[in-house]
């Protein structure tokens, strides 16, 4: 379900967020001018290739960007502004907003048993529980994610990666009562079979507890499985915002289309064995010295000429287009992804759309199928 | 091994040329280090101090008066006549400082050089027969030597043998030599372990296997391939070990168990200073201390710089994105040096 | 844990055995005939022979070693050549001063260096960070006995009567006076190690603070104070603990020298005096005791390391290592 985001009920409202590293005179701008809203119970995906700034963005949301970074813009959770209030930010962490990390092996302290690490979080976020209740709660948490309760006495190095990611999910979803979980590539470090179990676990927990989620990933399948709508990120900026159906059926931005094309797809691989998977040429631009125009221009297959190299396009609403089947085919059948995008849902940062919006034209032309 | 050796093709260049090439390869890091050394403040500091000390040792004795001449008034503070004052028997402290520098630095350099060479050879031999009888014996022996604190082992060894006296053939060793041997013995295990560990890591690498498959002879493998590749940590450790040796010599001589009076070393100068402390003879303690501090600092900085310059990983960061310690302008002057280094590196591999 | 202790103990035994062999070799290499020395001037040949028999000097060298080792293990290291006092008694007499000095220095190192290193890591480029850099260079450059002489010059000549700079008082007799007397020598002894340990702590902390589990702890709302104290420090202390073992050995060795500056009658002054009197049974006794303590300290460090790092404990449990 796409909930129409209204200003009052937004759980998370990010406005004009920027994260810059290094020398203030010549900063590396990892995240630039990002607007993001997440409603209650909603799940939003952020996709992009590595180095696009998506993980930096996610960490900045909780103030975990490290001392070398300068953060600008606004981050409001439940209407409370956190961006420049470290104390408020700390109050939110773990309790209201928690996080699932990419690499569970390094995200647990190697020196302590799992039980003591989870117990500490429960003590922090549910201070009303006594010692025994706390222990019972930790056991119940582990049980819920499929880890036998007796393993509370084991140290992190005694678990497999998949087991640790289950524990990480227990910590993020069950230790406090989070209204929002930020997930940073939660399955990237896992085997394919384990990945499916983890996806299922996350989906079940969300269905049960109803919390919102922001999912950062480069895996389009994961977005289709777990998200309601999606932002596509490139070189620190959002370049497209769309629904899941919109992402797969009618991607608006050339970068999104390229991303879809270069994603391996079992069906296609089977049909065209031996032929090469399309790849995107070039790499992510140098964030310390980004090109003056559209950051994607140097790699763009649908380049319009001078305007693309000169001006940075705005993120503008894209007129609805007929559901054009892309090379990737229709979206995998997800629960929430069946809805077709409605007017205003799809926005893209591309001169092509700006031009067509001005001329009141219809759909995007020249989409290469 | 020996029959195998004869059946293998010998390298293209035989005799003096190969020796020369090997020497050049071994000297390459040193030359490269010398060039880069003078590009960073710490490196400049170390270089200046080393040059100063070398000057004191090499030229000093011709300029300074006889260290044992009791020609002046006893216990006078530094003045125009005696820049470092005089001691309680009227000897010129500057003259003794210079003579002491010679012995202190000589002992430290000789014992470290011996420990480095002996330790590296033993360590490599142990690594080549890892797990064998020789290896196990060597490791236990280093354990035993390392079971004594340096400042207990060295005074006991040098004390006993100075009093007993040892002769190598017809030559009776003086206490300077005994001191160097005692410190050398105590320092060797570090080099054995370091060389063994580095060699073990290196032997497993592909280029060693490749060289062996290409039919390189054992001697070439060890001295042509293995040694240059484990040289960096050993050279760095040697710089630090000289600093350690200086302090150990000073400490043991201070106890009266090392260099014996009337020979001067920085340690014996401090022994002389101790009895005059309560008379406020600050100059007796200040100058030897400065000498020790200068030498130790020079060698420590040298070791640090060498480590940064010789370590390929460090060098990459040094050339590319400047590290915190290396300011931008230096990186800008790099390209010329880089290509030369690249060639040198090719030559070693 | 028990398995680990036993294993490490078993590894220490051959080392101690070899140490005893070296000690015995030195004892027999040392110049002079101990029987003649012990018998004293003007003793008859019979008296000398009797002593020679008592010291087993009339047996073969291997036999001598076995008998000497047996006696050493039962706590008899022979008699002092000069005072005829049993060496073990002399050692027992002098040992406490050395241990108290070394332990005081160790406490100073820990109390000063660890917090300093943590501060330096938390505020890089701050005052503590600079202090660590200066201390680690200065500590290398100025040997502890020289610093000790500086203290003696300062409190014995320039500002007299403020602070004791000579002699030793045991903690058992008067803790306050003991600390007053031990502070200067312990500080001199500790100084070279403070910079080193602070630097290790600093780099350990920096390393750990950049780990993902620290970010994760913050993300889950753990208060910053506890992130530093519970999460970071415990992991950062692993290399520090190893180093403290080495440091303890250096402090023991260093106290041999520093004692002589501050007129403390410990093992160090005993060692120096024994050479002056060519009293080699005492020399070897000192050497043996210090080596024994050194080996035991390293053993203790290994065990402590296992207690802090669960992975090492597990390794021993599975019979690795």
Q: Are residues C113 and C219 in the same domain?
A: yes
Cα three-residue angle A329-A332-A335, rounded to 5 degrees: 145
What is the C-alpha separation between C288 and B230, in angstroms, rounded? Answer: 35
The percent of residues in chain A predicted with pLDDT above 90, rounded, is 37
Model confidence at A355: pLDDT above 70 = no
From the list C14, C261, C294, which residue is nearest B149 (CB)?
C294
- Nearest CA-CA distance, residue C216 and chain A, Å: 6
Pairing of strands A97-100, A43-47: unpaired
Q: Mean pLDDT across chain B, nearest whole number?
A: 78
Does C142 fall in a domain?
Answer: yes
Which residues of chain C make contact with B279, given a CB cutoff of 8 A? 157
| A36 in Cβ contact with A83 (< 8 Å) | no
- The whole-angstrom distance between C228's CA and the closest CA on chain A is 12
Q: Is residue C177 part of a domain?
A: yes
Closest CA to C286 of C300, C306, C297, C272: C272
The answer to whether position C95 is within a domain reads yes
Chain C: residue whose CA lies nearest to A175:
C220
C26 and C108 assigned to the same domain? no
Q: What is the predicted pLDDT for the residue at C152? A: 92
Dist CA C10 CA C255 (whole Å): 29
Same domain for C147 and C240?
yes
* Residue C119 covered by a domain: yes
- Of all residues in chain C, the one with the smallest CA distance to A113 is C310
Q: Report the residue of B152, B189, B252 to disrupt the C interface, i.e. the one with the largest count of C CBs within 10 Å.
A: B152
Domains along chain B?
38-60+86-317 (1.10.3720.10)
What does chain B come to in residues?
349
C300 assigned to some structural domain? yes
DSSP H stretches of helix in chain B: 2-7, 16-37, 41-63, 93-128, 133-146, 150-164, 175-203, 206-213, 218-220, 227-255, 266-275, 282-310, 312-319, 328-332, 335-348
Structural domain includes residue C244: yes
In angstroms and rounded to an integer, the radius of gyration of the C-alpha atoms of chain C is 24
> Is the Cβ of B292 closer than 8 Å to some Cβ of chain C?
yes
- Host H or E run for residue C205: helix C175-209
Residue C173: Cβ within 10 Å count = 8
Burial A354-363 (b: 16+ CB within 10 A, else e): bebeeeeeee
Tell me what pLDDT residue A49 has.
85
Question: Is the Cβ of A106 closer than 8 Å to some Cβ of chain C?
Answer: yes
Of C221, C234, C235, which is closest to A93 when you measure between CB atoms?
A: C221
- Position C243 in a domain: yes
Give how far Cα A76 sits from Cα of A13, A54, A88, C28, C126, Å: 5, 18, 10, 82, 33
Shared domain for C143 and C282, answered yes or no, is no
For residue C75, pLDDT beyond 80: yes
Strand partners for A77: A12, A80
Residue C236 to chain A, least CA–CA distance (Å) = 10
Of C220, C224, C308, the CB nearest to A98: C220
Contact residues, chain A, for C220 at CB < 8 Å: 93-94, 98-99, 121, 124, 171-172, 175-176
Q: Do you know the residue count of chain A?
A: 369
pLDDT at A45 over 60: yes
Measure the CA–CA gap between B238 and B299, rounded to whole angstroms.
Answer: 9
| Contact: chain A with chain B (3+ CB pairs below 8 Å) | no
Q: Which of A67, A97, A102, A110 to mutate to test the interface with C (most CBs of C within 10 A)?
A: A110
Same domain for C144 and C185? Answer: yes
Of C267, C286, C307, which residue constitutes the final position of a domain? Answer: C267
Q: Using the beta-carbon criterion (under 8 Å), do C215 and A59 form an inter-chain contact?
A: yes
Burial class (CB in 10 A: 0-12, 13-18, 19+), A369: exposed
The answer to whether the Cβ–Cβ distance between B164 and C275 falls below 8 Å is no
Give this complex's ipTM: 0.86
Pairing of strands A43-47, A229-234: parallel
**Is the distance from CB of B274 to CB of C261 less than 8 angstroms?**
yes
* Distance between CA atoms of residues A212 and A309, nearest Å: 38
Task: Provide the pLDDT for residue B315.
Answer: 45
Between the alpha carbon of residue C120 and those of residues A144, A207, C191, the distances in Å are 43, 47, 18
Selected residues 228-257 of chain B with any CB under 8 Å from a CB in chain C: 243, 247, 250-251, 254-257
pLDDT at A6: 46
The conformation of residue B222, written as its DSSP 8-state character, comes to: I
**Residue A237 pairs with which residues in a beta bridge?**
A234
Domain limit, last residue, from C244, C267, C290: C267
* Cα-based angle A288, A294, A296 (whole degrees, multiple of 5): 80
What CATH number does residue C126 fall under?
1.10.3720.10
* H-helix or E-strand spanning residue A43: strand A43-47
Q: Are A72 and A31 in contact (CB under 8 A)?
A: no
User: For A194-215, how does the pLDDT look when each residue is reduced to its tens digit (9 = 90+)?
Assistant: 899 999 999 999 999 999 999 9
Using CA of residue C248, residue B162, residue C34, residue B145, what is the dihedral sign? positive
Residue B316: its pLDDT value, please? Answer: 40
Write the burial class of residue B59 (CB in 10 Å: 0-12 exposed, 13-18 middle, 19+ buried). Answer: exposed
Question: Could you tell me the pLDDT band of residue B124, with boundaries at 50, 70 and 90?
Answer: very high
Q: Tell me the chain C residues in contact with residue A55 when contact means C-beta distances shorter than 8 Å.
A: none
- Give the whole-angstrom CA distance, residue B188 versus residue A108: 42
User: What is the C-alpha separation between B162 and A301, in angstroms, rounded?
Assistant: 85
- The chain C residue lying nearest A169, using CA atoms, is C220
Cβ distance B151 to C31 less than 8 Å, yes or no, reads no
**Hey, is the C-beta of B213 within 8 angstroms of any chain C C-beta?**
no
Q: Give the C-side interface with A, CB within 8 Å.
A: 211-213, 215-224, 231, 234-235, 308-311, 314
Beta pairing partners, A229: A44, A243
The yes-or-no verdict on residue C127 having pLDDT over 80 is yes
Q: Please indicate, yes or no, whether residues C101 and C242 belong to a single structural domain of this protein.
A: yes
d(CA A76, CA A13): 5
Considering only CB atoms, B280 lies closest to which of C146, C157, C295, namely C157
Residue C272 in any domain: the answer is: no
CB-CB contact of B179 with B161 (8 Å): no
> Looking at chain C, which residue has its C-alpha nearest residue A99?
C219
Write down the pLDDT at residue B241: 93
- pLDDT tens, C275-301? 888 888 888 889 889 888 888 888 888
Last residue of a domain, one of C267, C288, C311: C267
Question: Could you report the per-residue pLDDT of A220-255, keeping only the tens digit for each?
Answer: 889 988 999 999 999 889 999 988 888 888 888 888
Gap between the Cα atoms of C118 and C138, Å rounded: 19
Domain that holds residue C49: 1-82+277-321
pLDDT tens figures, B191-203: 999 999 999 888 8
Q: Is residue A227 less than 8 Å (CB to CB) from chain C?
A: no
Cβ atoms < 10 Å from Cβ of B105: 22
Q: Which chain A positions have a beta carbon within 8 Å of C235's beta carbon? A: 109-111
Q: Is C140 an interface residue toward B (CB < 8 Å)?
A: yes
pLDDT tens for A95-106 read 899 999 988 899
Instruction: Calculate how close chain A gets to C284, using CA atoms only, in Å.
Output: 43
Percentage of the residues of chain A whose pLDDT score is greater than 70: 82
pTM score: 0.79
Q: How many domains does chain C divide into?
A: 2
Domain identity same for C5 and C45 = yes
Q: Which tens digit of pLDDT belongs to each residue from C102-120?
A: 999 999 999 999 999 999 9
Give A24 or C97, the one with higher predicted confidence.
C97
Q: Which residues contact B260 (CB under 8 A, 6 or more apart)?
A: B162, B175, B268
Considering the domain architecture, whether residues C180 and C291 belong to the same structural domain is answered as no
Is the previous residue joined to B262 through a cis bond, with omega within 30 degrees of 0?
yes
- Which two tokens mark C227? 């992130």
Predicted local distance difference test score (pLDDT) of residue A80: 87
**Helix residue spans in A126-191 (DSSP H):** 131-144, 161-174
Of C213, C309, C314, the CB nearest to A107: C213
- Cβ distance A106 to C213 less than 8 Å, yes or no, reads yes
Residues C310 and C257 in one domain: no
For residue A118 the two structure tokens come to 């989870």
pLDDT band at B331 (very low <50, low <70, confident <90, very high): very low
Whether residues C257 and C309 share a domain: the answer is no
Q: Does B181 touch chain C (CB under 8 A)?
A: no
**DSSP character string of C215-258:** HHHHHTT--HHHIIIIIIHHHHHHHHHHHHHHHHHHHHHHHHHH
* Residue C46 shares a structural domain with residue C126: no
Is residue C160 domain-shared with residue C236, that is, in the same domain? yes
């Amino acid at each position: 379900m796409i909930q129409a985001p209204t200003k009052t009920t937004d759980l998370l409202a990010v406005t004009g967020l920027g994260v810059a590293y290094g020398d203030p005179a010549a900063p590396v701008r990892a995240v630039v001018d990002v607007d993001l809203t997440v409603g209650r119970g909603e799940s939003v995906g952020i996709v992009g290739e590595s180095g696009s700034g998506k993980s930096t963005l996610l960490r900045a949301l909780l103030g975990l960007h490290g001392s070398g970074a300068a953060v600008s813009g606004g981050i409001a959770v439940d209407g409370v502004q956190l961006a420049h209030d470290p104390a408020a930010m700390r109050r939110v962490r773990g309790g209201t907003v928690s996080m699932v990390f990419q690499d569970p092996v390094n995200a647990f302290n190697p020196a302590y048993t799992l039980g003591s690490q989870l117990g500490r979080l429960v003590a922090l976020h549910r201070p009303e529980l006594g010692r025994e209740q706390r222990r019972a709660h930790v056991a119940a948490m582990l049980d819920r994610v499929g880890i036998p309760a007796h393993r509370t006495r084991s140290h992190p190095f005694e678990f497999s990666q998949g087991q640790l990611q289950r524990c990480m999910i227990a910590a993020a979803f069950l230790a406090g009562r989070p209204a929002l979980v930020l997930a940073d590539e939660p399955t990237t470090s896992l085997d394919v079979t384990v990945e499916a179990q983890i996806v299922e676990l996350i989906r079940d927990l969300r269905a049960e507890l109803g919390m919102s989620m922001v999912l950062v990933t480069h895996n389009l399948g994961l977005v289709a499985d777990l998200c309601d709508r999606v932002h596509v990120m490139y070189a620190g900026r959002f370049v497209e915002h769309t629904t899941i159906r919109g992402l797969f059926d009618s991607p608006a931005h050339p970068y999104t289309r390229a991303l879809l094309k270069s994603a391996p797809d079992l069906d296609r691989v089977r049909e065209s064995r031996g032929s090469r998977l399309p790849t995107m040429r070039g790499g992510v631009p140098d964030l310390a010295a980004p090109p003056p125009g559209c950051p994607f221009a140097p790699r763009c297959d649908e380049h319009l000429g001078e305007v693309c190299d000169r001006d940075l396009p705005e993120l503008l609403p894209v007129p609805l287009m007929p559901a054009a089947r892309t090379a990737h085919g229709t979206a995998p059948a997800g629960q929430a992804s069946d809805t077709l995008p409605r007017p205003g849902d799809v926005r893209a940062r591309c001169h092509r759309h700006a031009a067509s919006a001005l001329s009141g034209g219809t759909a995007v032309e020249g989409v290469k199928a | 091994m020996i029959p195998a050796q004869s059946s293998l093709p010998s390298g293209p260049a035989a005799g003096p040329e190969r020796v020369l090439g090997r020497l050049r390869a071994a000297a390459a890091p040193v030359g490269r280090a010398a060039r880069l050394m003078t590009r960073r403040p710490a490196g400049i500091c170390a270089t200046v101090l080393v040059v100063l000390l070398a000057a004191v040792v090499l030229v000093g004795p011709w300029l300074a008066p006889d260290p044992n001449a009791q020609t002046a008034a006893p216990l006078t503070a530094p003045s125009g006549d005696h820049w470092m004052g005089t001691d309680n028997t009227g000897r010129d402290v500057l003259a003794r400082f210079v003579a002491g520098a010679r012995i202190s630095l000589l002992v430290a350099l000789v014992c470290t050089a011996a420990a480095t060479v002996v330790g590296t050879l033993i360590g490599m031999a142990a690594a080549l027969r890892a797990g064998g009888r020789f290896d196990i014996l060597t490791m236990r022996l280093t354990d035993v030597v390392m079971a004594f604190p340096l400042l207990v082992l060295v005074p006991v060894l040098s004390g006993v043998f100075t009093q007993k006296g040892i002769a190598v053939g017809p030559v009776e060793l003086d206490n300077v030599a005994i001191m160097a041997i005692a410190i050398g013995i105590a320092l060797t295990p570090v080099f054995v372990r370091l060389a063994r560990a580095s060699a073990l890591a290196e032997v497993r690498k592909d280029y060693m296997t490749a060289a062996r498959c290409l039919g390189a002879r054992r001697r070439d493998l060890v001295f042509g391939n293995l040694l240059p590749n484990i040289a960096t940590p050993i050279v760095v450790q040697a710089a630090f070990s000289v600093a350690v040796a200086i302090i150990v010599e000073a400490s043991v001589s201070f106890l009266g168990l090392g260099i014996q009076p009337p020979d001067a070393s920085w340690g014996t100068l401090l022994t002389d200073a101790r009895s005059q402390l309560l008379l406020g003879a600050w100059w007796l303690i200040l100058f030897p201390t400065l000498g020790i501090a200068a030498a130790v600092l020079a060698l420590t900085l040298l070791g640090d710089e060498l480590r940064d310059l010789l370590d390929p990983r460090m060098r990459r960061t040094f050339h590319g994105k400047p590290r915190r310690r290396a300011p931008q302008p230096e990186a800008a002057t790099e390209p010329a040096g880089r290509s030369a280094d690249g060639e040198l590196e090719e030559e070693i591999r | 844990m028990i398995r680990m202790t036993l294993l490490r103990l078993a590894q220490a035994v051959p080392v101690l055995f070899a140490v005893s062999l070296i000690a015995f070799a030195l004892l027999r290499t040392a110049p002079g005939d101990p029987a003649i020395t012990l018998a004293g001037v003007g003793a008859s040949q019979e008296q000398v022979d009797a002593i020679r028999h008592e010291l087993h000097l009339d047996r073969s060298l291997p036999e001598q070693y076995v008998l000497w080792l047996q006696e050493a293990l039962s706590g008899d290291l022979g008699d002092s050549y000069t005072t005829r006092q049993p060496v073990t008694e002399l050692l027992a007499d002098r040992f406490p001063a050395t241990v108290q000095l070394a332990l005081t220095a160790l406490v100073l190192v820990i109390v000063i260096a660890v917090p300093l290193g943590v501060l330096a890591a938390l505020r890089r480029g701050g005052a503590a960070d600079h202090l660590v850099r200066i201390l680690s260079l200065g500590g290398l450059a100025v040997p502890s006995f020289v610093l000790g002489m500086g203290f003696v010059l300062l409190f014995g000549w320039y500002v007299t009567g403020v602070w004791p700079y000579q002699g030793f008082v045991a903690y058992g007799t008067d803790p306050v006076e003991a600390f007053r007397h031990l502070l200067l020598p312990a500080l001199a002894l500790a100084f070279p190690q403070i910079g080193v340990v602070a630097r290790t702590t600093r780099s350990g902390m920096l390393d750990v603070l950049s780990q993902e589990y620290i970010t994760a702890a913050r993300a889950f709302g753990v208060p910053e104070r506890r992130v530093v104290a519970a999460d970071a420090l415990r992991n950062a202390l692993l290399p520090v603990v190893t180093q403290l073992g080495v440091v303890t050995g250096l402090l023991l060795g260093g106290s041999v020298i520093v004692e002589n500056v501050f007129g403390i009658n410990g093992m160090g002054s005993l060692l120096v005096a024994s050479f002056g009197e060519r009293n080699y049974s005492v020399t070897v006794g000192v050497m043996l005791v210090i080596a024994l303590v050194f080996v035991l300290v390293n053993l203790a460090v290994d065990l402590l390391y296992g207690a802090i790092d669960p992975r090492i404990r597990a390794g021993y449990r599975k019979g690795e290592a």
